[in-house]
Amino acid sequence: MAVIRVRTTKHTSFVNITNQVREIVKGYGIKSGLCLVYVPHTTACVFINEGADPEVIRDIAYAVEKLIPWRDDYAHSEGNSAAHIRSALIGNSRIVPIENGDLALGTWEAIFLADFDGPRERKVIVRVLKED
């Protein structure tokens, strides 16, 4: 198991962690298998989407804010219900196939950690499973 530590800098941060995950996978030296990317937090999550044009990520942040506004009639006393809901909907893990010793991501795909209640330090757990 490997852990990536990410220090986010804003209240809402999307951090491209593809290179860190890729380095971990390559370190295992396996040809094919699965890579689990897991975020052990309740107000942060992980997703895969376009990493080439930063406007896509900006638009995702915009849409998330519109769909799940920070202020609404929430009950949770900590005051960060929107961050919990956003993370629950996006999900806290992804599995990426490993082919030819590398992540089998699409040409435009990247792996993003999304922090909806930063800035703070976040952990991403990476597990690599070898296919026989």
Interface residues with Zn ion (CB under 5 A) are 78, 80
Smallest gap, in angstroms, from Cβ of residue 11 to Zn ion?
14
* Distance (Å, whole) CA 44 – CA 87: 5
Q: Are strands 93-99 and 2-7 parallel, antiparallel or unpaired?
A: unpaired
Residue nearest to Zn ion (CB): 78
Q: How far is the CB of 57 from Zn ion (least distance, A)?
A: 24
> Which residues face 111 on adjacent strands?
48
- Report the nearest approach of Zn ion to the CB of residue 27 (Å): 35
Q: How far apart are CA 46 and CA 93, in angstroms?
A: 6
Smaller CB distance to Zn ion: residue 20 or 92? 92
Enter the DSSP assignment of 108.
Answer: T
Residue among 41 and 94 whose Cβ is closer to Zn ion: 41
